[in-house]
């Protein structure tokens, strides 16, 4: 594991492979993975007020209101482990307002990775995705099948249907240029229409430069 205090944002359309790549990045670079979607799903699981507010939006594939998301992400980033080990922020910011909110809190990335994937591939990725609730691992029925012993416990996300995906995708296309405009100095685009290994090789190439430079 490479030790650093690198600060990375990772963005891309729904089911582009952000979570998949984050698993690999964390394994190699030891960054703290902070996923806005995972934070929200944990709130729903816990039955909190935030969770109750978020669920309806998420199931429809709409952005959850900023009053729920911004505070949640900011507090997680401000915990000591993120300062100590560096962080990998996944799925935030998703709008210009969210970018401004976090910038005002003094939180800025060293690198902003944008994974690009053609819309047609995303439907297949989303409908074939399966999750292991015990380990948190992400699988795909065709591209990354789960081991036999885990098959019986795999679940699908409630927003992993084509209708919600279309809505998530429309929001992504509408906002991505605005979001990226806040990070033009540090943005790096990666083609996500390739194998998981190939995508990771690209990302690894990018990040290793920063750690080698002693960030
Ligand atoms: P979130 O949980 O962030 O979902 P998302 O952005 O739609 O992204 P996903 O988690 O669906 O996909 P991923 O890119 O991680 O892909 P994965 O690696 O799993 O957000 C969910 C909802 O929460 C939002 O709609 C919104 O309501 C709310 N929310 C979240 N953040 C918010 C914010 N900031 N503000 C407001 N609301 C917010 O891969 C997908 C599948 O493809 C897997 O099965 C995987 O095995 C497979 N796969 C991955 N890579 C490849 C490859 N290279 N080749 C083939 N298959 C691959």
Helices (H), the chain: 18-29, 36-46, 49-60, 66-77, 80-85, 96-104, 119-128, 162-181, 196-212
Is the predicted pLDDT of residue 213 greater than 90, yes or no? no
Neighbour-count burial of 147, counting CB atoms closer than 10 A to its CB (0-12 exposed, 13-18 middle, 19+ buried): exposed
Question: Stretch 151-164: mean pLDDT, rounded?
Answer: 94
Active site residue 166: no
112 alpha carbon – ligand 1 mean position (Å) = 17
Does pLDDT of 86 surpass 80?
A: yes
Taking the C-alpha atoms of residue 48 and residue 37, their distance in angstroms, rounded to an integer, is 15
- Cα–Cα distance measured from residue 215 to residue 119, given in angstroms and rounded to the nearest whole number: 35
* Residues comprising the chain, all counted: 215
The dihedral sign for the CA sequence 137, 33, 37, 89? negative
Of 9, 55, 61, whose CA–CA distance to 35 is shortest?
Answer: 9
Ligand 1 atom at minimal distance to the Cα of residue 60: 27
> What's the CA-to-centroid distance between 19 and ligand 1, angstroms?
6
pLDDT of 118 strictly over 70:
yes
CATH superfamily entry for domain 7-212: P-loop containing nucleotide triphosphate hydrolases (3.40.50.300)
Active site residue 129: yes
pLDDT of residue 210: 83
Please provide the average confidence, as pLDDT, over all residues in the chain. Answer: 95
pLDDT of residue 8 exceeding 60: yes
Listed residue (178, 130, 195) closest to 156, CA to CA? 130
Rounded to the nearest angstrom, the distance between the alpha carbon of 214 and the centre of ligand 1 is: 30
Q: What is residue 215's predicted lDDT score, i.e. its pLDDT?
A: 54
Nearest 5°: phi and psi at 133?
A: -65, -20
Question: Residue holding tokens 């429309």?
Answer: 170
pLDDT band at 101 (very low <50, low <70, confident <90, very high): very high
Ligand 1 pocket test: pick from 9, 68, 140 the residue with the most ligand atoms within 8 Å of its Cβ. Answer: 140
Mean pLDDT, residues 142-167 = 95
Q: What is the pLDDT of residue 2?
A: 64
Mutate to test the pocket of ligand 1, among 34, 90, 129 (most ligand atoms within 8 A of CB): 129
Determine whether 157 is an active site residue.
Answer: yes
Q: Where are the domains of the chain?
A: 7-212
Mean pLDDT confidence for 47-69: 95
Residue 172 in this model has a pLDDT that exceeds 60: yes
Q: Residues 127-149: what's their mean pLDDT?
A: 96
Pairwise CA distance, residues 13 & 133, whole Å:
23
d(CA 125, CA 145): 12
Task: Ligand 1, residue 199: give the atom nearest the CA.
Answer: 53
The residues pairing with 33 across neighbouring beta strands, listed in sequence order, are 88
**pLDDT at site 211:** 78
Q: Kindly indicate the confidence band of residue 1, based on its pLDDT and cuts at 50, 70 and 90.
A: low
């Amino acid at each position: 594991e490479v030790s650093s205090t690198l600060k990375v944002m990772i963005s891309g359309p729904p089911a582009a492979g952000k979570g998949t790549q984050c698993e690999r990045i964390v394994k190699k670079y030891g960054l703290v993975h902070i996923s806005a979607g995972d934070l929200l799903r944990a709130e729903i699981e816990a039955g909190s007020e935030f969770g109750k507010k978020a669920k309806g939006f998420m199931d429809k594939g709409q952005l959850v209101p900023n009053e729920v998301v911004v505070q949640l992400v900011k507090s997680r980033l401000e915990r000591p482990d993120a300062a100590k080990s560096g962080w990998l922020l996944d799925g935030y910011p998703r709008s210009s307002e969210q970018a401004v909110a976090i910038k005002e809190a003094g939180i800025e990335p060293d690198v902003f990775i944008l994974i690009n994937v053609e819309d047609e591939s995303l439907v297949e990725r989303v409908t074939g995705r399966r999750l292991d609730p015990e380990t948190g691992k992400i699988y795909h029925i065709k591209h990354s099948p789960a081991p036999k012993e885990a098959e019986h416990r795999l679940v699908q996300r409630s927003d992993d249907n084509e209708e919600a995906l279309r809505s998530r995708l429309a929001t992504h296309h509408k906002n991505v240029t605005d979001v990226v405009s806040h990070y033009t100095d540090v943005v790096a685009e990666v083609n996500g229409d390739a194998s998981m290994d190939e995508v990771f090789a690209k990302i690894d190439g990018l990040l290793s430069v920063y750690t080698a430079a002693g960030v």
